[in-house]
């Protein structure tokens, strides 16, 4: 009786997660796309128009190119932070949908399963976004100071390795559970 109650609760939880995830995708998707579009436009105009125009211009000892690069970087950092917030919501929502679809085979979703999928999907997506953001930032970082690009890259690589390791551990947990379920099913069919 208790096991049946747990299954019903897991099924209800799965439906709730699926509905909330669908709503989050509808809300966060357009915001993320808009912020990404604006960041790309700022990068394009800044690097292809304003920085070339500013070459050779100085304010006293200060190169205008460095000032413009700093302005572009700061603006893009603010936009990318907004993108990361929305992408995190999207990846968590995608994890909810995946957990529901995977759980639909057995008719249930647990909080632990949802957390594992969130950790895995969000980690992988965030590493991709941060890597792409670094590619956008690297040219402007080099203009400000060449060593700055290397320092930021080392930080990005260290964070990425740790994040991908956590994602792998979360997936390993779900794969382990699936393998045990498969072994149990095969044993039942054989016996």
Tens of pLDDT, residues 26-47: 999 898 899 889 988 999 999 9
pLDDT at 9: 63
d(CA 113, CA 106): 13
Distance from C-alpha of 102 to C-alpha of 95, rounded to nearest angstrom = 10
Report the distance separating Cα 165 and Cα 124, nearest Å: 10
This prediction has a pTM of 0.79
Q: What domain range is 112 assigned to?
A: 2-190
pLDDT single digits (tens) 92-121: 999 888 888 887 656 577 888 889 999 999
B/e letters for 63-98, b = 16+ CB within 10 Å, e = fewer, are bbbbbbbeebbeebeebbebbbebbbbbbbbbbbbb
Asked whether the beta carbons of 14 and 108 are under 8 A apart, the reply is yes
Answer yes or no: are the C-beta atoms of 80 and 133 closer than 8 Å: yes
More confident residue, 146 or 68: 68
> How many domains are contained in the chain?
1
E strands in the chain: 58-59, 62-63
Predicted pLDDT at 71: 94
């Amino acid at each position: 009786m208790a096991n049946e109650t747990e299954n019903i609760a897991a099924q209800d939880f799965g439906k709730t997660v699926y509905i909330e995830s669908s709503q989050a995708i509808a809300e966060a998707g357009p915001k993320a796309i808009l912020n990404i579009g604006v960041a790309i436009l700022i990068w394009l105009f800044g690097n292809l128009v304003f920085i070339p125009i500013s070459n050779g211009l100085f304010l006293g000892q200060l190169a205008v190119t460095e000032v413009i690069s700093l302005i572009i970087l700061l603006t893009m950092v603010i936009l990318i932070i907004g993108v990361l917030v929305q992408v995190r919501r999207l990846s968590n929502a995608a994890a909810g949908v995946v957990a529901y679809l995977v759980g639909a085979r057995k008719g249930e979703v647990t909080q632990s399963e949802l957390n594992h999928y969130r950790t895995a999907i969000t980690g992988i997506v965030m590493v991709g976004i941060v890597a792409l953001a670094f590619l956008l930032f690297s040219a402007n970082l080099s203009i400000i100071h060449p060593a700055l690009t290397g320092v930021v890259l080392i930080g990005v690589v260290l964070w990425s390795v740790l994040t991908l390791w956590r994602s792998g551990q979360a997936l390993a947990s779900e794969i382990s559970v699936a393998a045990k379920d498969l072994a149990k099913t095969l044993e039942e069919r054989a016996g």
